[in-house]
Structure 1
């Protein structure tokens, strides 16, 4: 199969690229970024697909600046909603299968147990609303050959994630405040990349006209960002004082769900996709050659 991965410079795009280099695949992967396909420009999307067609489109790209989205509503809506709908239109015309990555932020955080795919959505910020609008639009366009994967708290050996940011602070400061009452099921991007490849290589995915489905993928257990941070600093041997702080004590522009852990049973039952506890995954991150090299800088 010829497979397009949109978002080559992001955490997940890079993780998929790293995975297919380490594990030989029979598929032909094409990776694109904003230079080749700009989701902020409808003309760029149309122009790209006028000259290219694929069996599978994996959309890893998104507008993910949660606070800034409150001010850049139109931009967030274009990238997370309108552009995604355009991709679905193209997938339908080209008879391609679409795998779209979404977020735990489609939920309001009022649950007390991991969210299942069928649970009611109710986003509390612009980012979550635009991601949900994207989900709804593509489901209207594609009743089949569509997989939406919601994930939570993604991190990786690449830049611009929670682990990267707190380690940077840890090297420069003697203490840090970390939210202790926001509960998530963090996701190692390499684990999600492995899950996507498992799905693509499955016999079920190879069949045409599979009914559109939503799946959740994350670590199998939940944790506060505070406890997650403690483990990160312990593994990195960085000594500093960590202050547990309530979410409402942080002055953020956008609201965050207090609880957004995800139930991953469905993706395992349908595709035998493995999930891991967060401590297992964070140890895999620290064993990554790319991450080890970053720590040594």
Structure 2
């Protein structure tokens, strides 16, 4: 099976490369090597490599900057996704596209299902939703969309690494406690996506088993529920245990209103992963256990 991955330098792109199955012929492209907003370049690369499956891990993810860089956000997240879908249709490739919990407004109090009504609060969320819709319109059942949230890894910049840095520098931190979701280790997300990719390459395919002409949308995060405050507390506890931090600092819960950001975030974005678990055969693991494994990996790199 031949798989082409976009966004190789991101957190997920790095994990997909690291966890690639031995029977997969993998081609990886960074945004500089392959600009998904450039249709001519996309055509040339995909036709040349002729992959069976394309995994789109490329995205404009600067949530707050997107409020002013609207054109750039839509260029990558909507037009780039549409371009990929169009070329995948031309060459007969399956597409697995990564999206976000930011397509929801966070007003629910029970985990979001894939078919729940979307209502993004930010430009980032709206641009990602527009990309989902473009893929569905172009590719239908030839694509799968995976919505995820709160992604972190040993690669790149993320909440876990930011917290470790701040905890070394500060005497106390105030962390938002009224935004609820679930952290996602990019390695766990990559494992699930590889399971999907393998199934997508089989003749039946996931979407055909669901008897639908629409694009299947799946949710994936780690298991469990947390606030950013809970997440930060766990990071400190585990980091001290593993020798990544030498002492504890005071972490206090604050409301989101005390930490205003240009983009509004959903207050509640816990996702129901049952369908993804069923279709991929991969079970979610509790976020604290995943965080522990990621910090073990980080400790080896330092």
- In the alignment, structure 1 residue 75 sits paired with structure 2 residue 82: no
- In the alignment, structure 1 residue 265 sits paired with structure 2 residue 264: no
Q: Which residue of 2 aligns with 1:244?
A: 253
Per the normalisation by structure 2, the TM-score is 0.92
Q: Which residue of 2 aligns with 1:132?
A: 129
Q: Which residue of 1 aligns with 2:299?
A: 292
SS in 2 for 1:255: coil
**Residues 121-141 of structure 1, C-alpha deviation per residue, up to 9 Å, x if partnerless?**
000000000000000011011
Conserved in 1, the CA contact under 8 Å of 2:176 and 2:255? yes
Which moved further from structure 2: 99-108 or 43-52?
43-52
**Residues 31-62 of structure 1, C-alpha deviation per residue, up to 9 Å, x if partnerless?**
10022201343443234335332111000010
The alpha carbon displacement at 1:284 in A equals: 1.2
Q: Which residue of 2 aligns with 1:52?
A: 49
Following the alignment from structure 2 to structure 1, what is the Cα–Cα distance between the partners of residues 197 and 43? 25
Following the alignment from structure 1 to structure 2, what is the Cα–Cα distance between the partners of residues 50 and 273? 32
Per the normalisation by structure 1, the TM-score is 0.93
Conserved in 2, the CA contact under 8 Å of 1:112 and 1:259? yes
Q: Which residue of 2 aligns with 1:37?
A: 34
Q: Which residue of 1 aligns with 2:22?
A: 25
- RMSD of aligned alpha carbons: 1.4
Which moved further from structure 2: 268-277 or 5-14?
268-277
Conserved in 2, the CA contact under 8 Å of 1:220 and 1:263? no
Q: Which residue of 2 aligns with 1:84?
A: 81
Following the alignment from structure 2 to structure 1, what is the Cα–Cα distance between the partners of residues 287 and 234? 10
Aligned residues: 289
Q: Which of 264, 273, 290 is the aligned partner of 1:255?
A: 264
Conserved in 1, the CA contact under 8 Å of 2:52 and 2:201? no
Following the alignment from structure 1 to structure 2, what is the Cα–Cα distance between the partners of residues 37 and 129? 24
Conserved in 2, the CA contact under 8 Å of 1:19 and 1:193? yes
Q: Which residue of 2 aligns with 1:173?
A: 170
Q: Which of 213, 231, 236 is the aligned partner of 1:233?
A: 236
The alpha carbon displacement at 1:272 in A equals: 1.5
Following the alignment from structure 1 to structure 2, what is the Cα–Cα distance between the partners of residues 70 and 279? 32
Conserved in 1, the CA contact under 8 Å of 2:180 and 2:227? yes
| Displaced runs of 4 or more, over 4 A | none
Which moved further from structure 2: 191-200 or 102-111?
191-200
| Structure 1 unmatched runs, 5+ | none
Following the alignment from structure 2 to structure 1, what is the Cα–Cα distance between the partners of residues 26 and 40? 23
Following the alignment from structure 2 to structure 1, what is the Cα–Cα distance between the partners of residues 47 and 115? 36
Q: Which residue of 2 aligns with 1:111?
A: 108
Conserved in 2, the CA contact under 8 Å of 1:88 and 1:138? yes
SS in 1 for 2:188: helix
The alpha carbon displacement at 1:143 in A equals: 1.6
**Residues 150-205 of structure 1, C-alpha deviation per residue, up to 9 Å, x if partnerless?**
00100111121110111111111111121001001111000001101112233x65
- What are the residue-to-residue correspondences of 1:193-212 with 2, within 5 Å? 193-202=190-199, 205-208=201-204, 210=208, 211=212, 212=215
SS in 2 for 1:142: helix
